[in-house]
Amino acid sequence: MSCYKAYRQAGADFLAVRMTRIFTKIETEEDKVLHNDMLKDVLEIIEGGEVAFFKTLAEDMLFTRVDRKKRFFVRLASRVLNWGLRK
């Protein structure tokens, strides 16, 4: 099963919890491994569209007039899964 299909089946809430590892402070070797593993998964899902994905994400964060902190990781996870659907 592909990385995308596994996360799609698990859902955005699960991916959101896992994605917190990308944004936490890296203090130990274990933190580094978990960070790199999660980053690898996300990059695999959006492969081929990294520039467009991050540009869209940045524009959304800059120009959206909603509370960006509210459910940030769930919204980000949903965006990653939707991007993976395009492939």
d(C-alpha 29, C-alpha 34), whole Å: 9
Which tokens belong to 71?
A: 């459910």
Q: Where are the domains of the chain?
A: 3-85
Distance CA 28, CA 12 (A): 27
Per residue in 10-58, pLDDT (tens digit) is: 999 999 999 999 989 999 999 999 999 999 999 999 998 899 988 988 8
DSSP 87: -
Task: Work out the pLDDT band at 67, boundaries 50, 70, 90.
Answer: low
The per-type count for the chain, helices as H runs and strands as E runs, is: 5, 0
Contact 35, 24 (CB under 8 A): yes
